[in-house]
Structure 1
Amino acid sequence: MSCAYSDVTEVSGEDRVYVRIKPGMGSSQIGELLEKEGVIDSQAKFWLAVKLNNADSKFQAGVFELQPGMRPGDALNVLIHGRSSAVRVTVPEGLNVRQVAKLFAQQGLVDEKEFLSEAKDFAPYDYIEAVPEADYRIEGFLFPDTYDFANDATPRDIMQKMADEFDRKLTPEMRQQAADCNLSIYELVNLASLVEKEARYPEDRPVIAQVFFKRLDINMPLQTDTTLQYLRDEVKEDLSIEDTLVESPYNTYLHYGLPPGPIASPGLASIEAVLHPADTDYLYFVADRDGHNHYGYNYDEHLDLVNQVR
């Protein structure tokens, strides 16, 4: 079972229960938690074991691997003498570096500001280009997946593991296909990040990739709202004309070509869509309120679609 940890527990399989003990938790809270999750059958017995062992101040903070149906004394022994376990975190597709930092901070693994500071210049692979205008050099290369991290993992440890996973997932065939399309790895991920943020449904990804390629080919601004949303702390459902005038190298309404760097971490499906775009001549697309995209060949057709779906 793959899932992110909460303040309580997550069960993996039938014989493991992961329990997070936070600093300052008392024996009553811990006993209640253990009973609730089936580790022990009696909170009262656990409390008695704590008192007999004078263990009120001996609990360690961290995530511990226990089993269902343990004797209270055995569970207590793990919590005061055992080593804390790994923290499992699921990173979904389409998160940017700021969102990843917040996610790991919520899990108690990192300091959010420290993570963002490290992310500005962290680049463990040569294909992660140094672009002065890019907010975070590692942006786009923190591969979305489920990971187990040690409690003492540093921001660099975390970013290295995620970047290593990206490097493993990008096969030699995919790298060759990118080269055949005259794309660097950095450009591939940059484009894929736009596709990831624009497409809610799988069938839209290769068509949106084609639209972006066509616009680049004819030197037309990409005009993707996703790059404007990247500049914001919170997503705005409907961007205004004023939003499209914000001066930033990420504003693809004002600036031609790709943004300075990726705006999120794309999944494999979006990367594959860039490597294998649809064979169409669409130049415009607009999403309806359910996230389905509608495509047009010219601006007049696009305006008609906007009126229909919005």
Structure 2
Amino acid sequence: MTPPVPSSGNSGDLGDSGDGAAFLLTDGEPERPRRRPRRGRKRLILAGCAAACTLAAVLGVRSVLLPLIRPDDFEGAGTGAVTVEIKPGQSAGQIADTLAEAGVVATSRSFVKAVRERAKENSLRPGRYRLARGMAAGAALDRLLDESSRVVRRVAVPEGLWAGEALSRLAKGSGIPLAQLQQVVAAPHGLGLPAYAGGVEGYLFPATYEVEPNTTAKDLVRAMVTRFRRTAEELRLDQAATGVKLTPREVVVVASIIQAEGGRDEDYPKIARVIYNRLAKGRKLEMDSTVNYVQGRRTLRVSEKDIKVASPYNTYRYAGLPPGPIGSPGEKALKAALHPAEGDWYWFVTTDPGRRITKFTDSEGEFVKYREELNRYLGAD
């Protein structure tokens, strides 16, 4: 007997899976139920497409409007103030990037173009410059080529200062610590001093020096020595020294005394002649300036006690020139040492320091009278 097929109680060609899911019977195999469409994925795809279209539209608008919002080059001289530093060795392109980042020029490209059109690639110097924001590239280039735009410190070193005084002035004016400057002169190798120099005293040439932000203590001292050597070459100091029968070092020593003793510029050659006349006769120079140098003070009141100080720089006590310069002579003093005036003078006295009146004589009696004039002047102070 064929056993009866169990029935769920429903007839027809639709069957019930028992879990409420209906399916068709085909060739005795049940058909898998259909899945519902994934509407979420479609929505994501549509949203992504929409976002991409929006981005493309924004980029398209940006490409059209950006030149209008931020042009390739600004116009005019700009506004406000900004300080920009150009570092040593930077190319025109690197400088352009610096300017663009600071908002000085609109684009690096505009500045490089201005530089190349005017062939100024080798004219841009390192340093700090005062510029403005929003400048035309050509205007920015003009400012960089203008020395007045550079942010530099200028330090004036007058004639006749001792080395220590010059260093103090440099430190104060440059911002470089005095200790660093002192360390440089303590080991002067590499400063370019003349072979006949025994140290920096006398060779820190008096002038006005520019101090860049990256200037070191050695750079500054070396610049002063370089300036001395340039002046010495212009005066032909090495060759001209033979004309006064001195070594180049001795010429600098004489010039330093002239500078320290001198009043007016026209007196310098006369002071030189007094020195040479005394040297020729083997007489002591008896210069107050050398005594002041020994004692590290500047005064017109030199006493009997002062002139007895034991030092080879004391020309009241020892004959001949002191062993080294007593300060930094300027060009006029150096020139006077090389080209003294003609005369028989053996003494000179600055009788009126306020007006820088100096009197010369070959008579000791007149010299005493001139000293009395000076004493009266000092007594009135």
Q: TM-score, normalised by structure 1?
A: 0.68
Q: What CA distance in whole angstroms lies between the structure 1 residues aligned with 2:345 and 2:299?
A: 26
Post-superposition offset of 1:125: 3.1
Alignment partner, residue 94 of structure 1:
160
Post-superposition offset of 1:155: 2.5
Deviations 1:201-249 (A, max 9, x none): 0111000000001111111111111111113343223111111111122
Moved more, 182-191 or 119-128: 119-128
Moved more, 158-167 or 142-151: 142-151
List structure 1 segments (4+ residues) > 6 angstroms apart after TM superposition. Answer: none
Q: Which of these residues, 209, 225, 247, is aligned with residue 147 of structure 1?
A: 209
Task: Describe the SS at the equivalent of 1:210.
Answer: helix
What amino acid maps onto 1:168 in structure 2? R
Alignment partner, residue 195 of structure 1:
258
Task: Describe the SS at the equivalent of 1:107.
Answer: helix
What amino acid maps onto 1:150 in structure 2? E
Q: What CA distance in whole angstroms lies between the structure 1 residues aligned with 2:185 and 2:345?
A: 36
Kindly indicate whether residue 178 of structure 2 is the aligned counterpart of residue 112 of structure 1: yes
Alignment partner, residue 8 of structure 2:
none
Report if aligned partners of 2:237, 2:248 keep a CA contact under 8 Å in 1: no
Kindly indicate whether residue 270 of structure 2 is the aligned counterpart of residue 207 of structure 1: yes
Moved more, 169-178 or 245-254: 169-178
Kindly indicate whether residue 316 of structure 2 is the aligned counterpart of residue 250 of structure 1: no
Report if aligned partners of 2:194, 2:229 keep a CA contact under 8 Å in 1: no
Of Structure 1 and Structure 2, which has the larger fraction of its residues in helix? Answer: 2
Structure number, greater radius of gyration: 2
Post-superposition offset of 1:100: 0.9
Q: What CA distance in whole angstroms lies between the structure 2 residues aligned with 1:254 and 1:120?
A: 29
Post-superposition offset of 1:85: 4.0
Kindly indicate whether residue 244 of structure 2 is the aligned counterpart of residue 181 of structure 1: yes
Kindly indicate whether residue 333 of structure 2 is the aligned counterpart of residue 267 of structure 1: no
Q: Which of these residues, 178, 193, 201, is aligned with residue 125 of structure 1?
A: 193
Q: Which of these residues, 294, 303, 310, is aligned with residue 359 of structure 2?
A: 294
Post-superposition offset of 1:64: 5.1
Post-superposition offset of 1:110: 2.5
Instruction: Report how many aligned residue pairs link the two structures.
Output: 235
Q: What CA distance in whole angstroms lies between the structure 2 residues aligned with 1:172 and 1:214?
A: 23
Report if aligned partners of 1:97, 1:116 keep a CA contact under 8 Å in 2: no
Q: Which of these residues, 326, 341, 345, is aligned with residue 278 of structure 1?
A: 341
* RMSD, aligned CA: 2.8
Alignment partner, residue 219 of structure 2:
157
Task: Describe the SS at the equivalent of 2:154.
Answer: strand
Post-superposition offset of 1:102: 0.7
Kindly indicate whether residue 130 of structure 2 is the aligned counterpart of residue 66 of structure 1: yes
Q: What CA distance in whole angstroms lies between the structure 2 residues aligned with 1:237 and 1:126?
A: 33
Moved more, 194-203 or 104-113: 104-113
Alignment partner, residue 300 of structure 2:
237
Q: TM-score, normalised by structure 2?
A: 0.56
Report if aligned partners of 2:155, 2:174 keep a CA contact under 8 Å in 1: no
Larger RCO: Structure 1 or Structure 2 (Cα < 8 Å, ≥ 6 residues apart)?
1
Q: Which runs of 5+ in 2 are unaligned?
A: 1-80, 84-126, 136-149, 376-381
Kindly indicate whether residue 369 of structure 2 is the aligned counterpart of residue 304 of structure 1: yes
Q: Which runs of 5+ in 1 are unaligned?
A: 1-16, 20-62, 75-83, 131-136
What amino acid maps onto 1:127 in structure 2? A
Structure 1 residues 65 and 231 mapped into 2: Cα distance closer, same or farther (>3 Å)?
farther
Moved more, 219-228 or 144-153: 144-153
Task: Describe the SS at the equivalent of 2:236.
Answer: helix
Identity %, equivalent residues: 30
